[in-house]
Amino acid sequence: MTEELFLKLCIYIIGGILGLCVGSFLNVVIYRLPNNMSLASPPSHCTACDYSLKWYDNIPVLSYLFLGGKCRKCKTKISPRYMIVELANAVFWLLSIAIFWNISIIYACAMAIVSSVLICIFFIDLEHMLIFNRFTLIVALGGIVAMFFDTKTVWYDHIIGAVSGGLIFLGVYYGALLVLKKEGLGFGDVKYAAAAGLLLGWQKFILAILIASVVGSIVMIILNRISDAEKQKEYPFGPYLAVATLIAMFFGNIIVSWYIEFVRGALM
């Protein structure tokens, strides 16, 4: 094995393990932040019986599988969300290394952090219909890094993305207030759209809006089929935006290139 290959392998292994551990911490953030609880104390415990988790109950993924998804003491079922968050975060960190490391280590680290924040936005907005400003701010900071390192865009594509993203969502926000006499979107979505536009640049932001709308429509149709009562419920748009942002962030440049090639081929 060459030295370079060995080094790359080490980076992936460390990135994957760190990704799992940070994913474990994200579970704490997702549960405690919306409930106004301290992130530091008390230490991890079972919410049903207060059993304090030992270090060997806290190993990402492995502890969950070993305990069969149940508390060691009271056997209460633990949500599979804990394992899903850990695995998803590890996958996104590995993708950040695979896609952005060769461009710049700073870029790869920034996108890894942004993907972790997007996981938090997804789960917290899904449950609490709330996007924290501090999360939106981190996405925007990631956008500033992307302005410098995104290879397929120039810096002002990101500024255009931020301004148009904010304005479009502001239009939808006030449009819904005017026509429907209620909030169609939360104001958190408006701020988030501006940050996502800065992160992605306007080309990939358009892609993200398309993805969010299509996925959102499909999920709505499925939910409406399942039960009529679901129709009356309000759904947050943030989770769709977060998923779409992740797809556009990691694969947007490839998808946009394909699309341009496709249109060029069709016109020739």
> Where on the chain is the footprint of Zn ion (CB under 5 A)?
46, 48-49, 51, 71, 73-74, 76
Q: Is the CB of residue 242 less than 8 Å from the CB of residue 121? A: yes
- Rounded to the nearest whole angstrom, what is the least distance from the CB of residue 51 to Zn ion in the complex? 5
Q: Which is nearer to Zn ion, 49 or 223 (CB)?
A: 49
Q: Which is nearer to Zn ion, 73 or 128 (CB)?
A: 73
Q: Min. distance of Cβ 56 from Zn ion in angstroms?
A: 15
The least CB distance from residue 67 to Zn ion, in Å, is 10
CB of 74 to Zn ion, least distance (A): 3
Give me 213's structure tokens.
């709308």
Q: Which is nearer to Zn ion, 48 or 214 (CB)?
A: 48
Between 76 and 79, whose beta carbon lies closer to Zn ion? 76
Report the distance separating Cα 243 and Cα 211, nearest Å: 9
* Distance of closest approach, residue 240 Cβ to Zn ion, in angstroms: 34
What minimum distance in Å lies between the beta carbon of 49 and Zn ion?
3
Would you say 79 or 257 has its CB closer to Zn ion?
79
For residue 246, give both structure tokens. 């992740």
Residue with Cβ nearer Zn ion (71 or 138): 71
**CA angle at 221 for the pair 249 and 240, rounded to the nearest 5°:** 20
Q: Which amino acid is at 252?
A: G
- Of residues 142, 72, 150, 151, the one with CA closest to residue 114: 142
HSE toward the beta carbon, residue 40, CA cutoff 13 A? 0
* Least Å from the CB of residue 164 to Zn ion: 49
Using the minimum distance from each CB to Zn ion, give the nearer residue, 71 or 212. 71
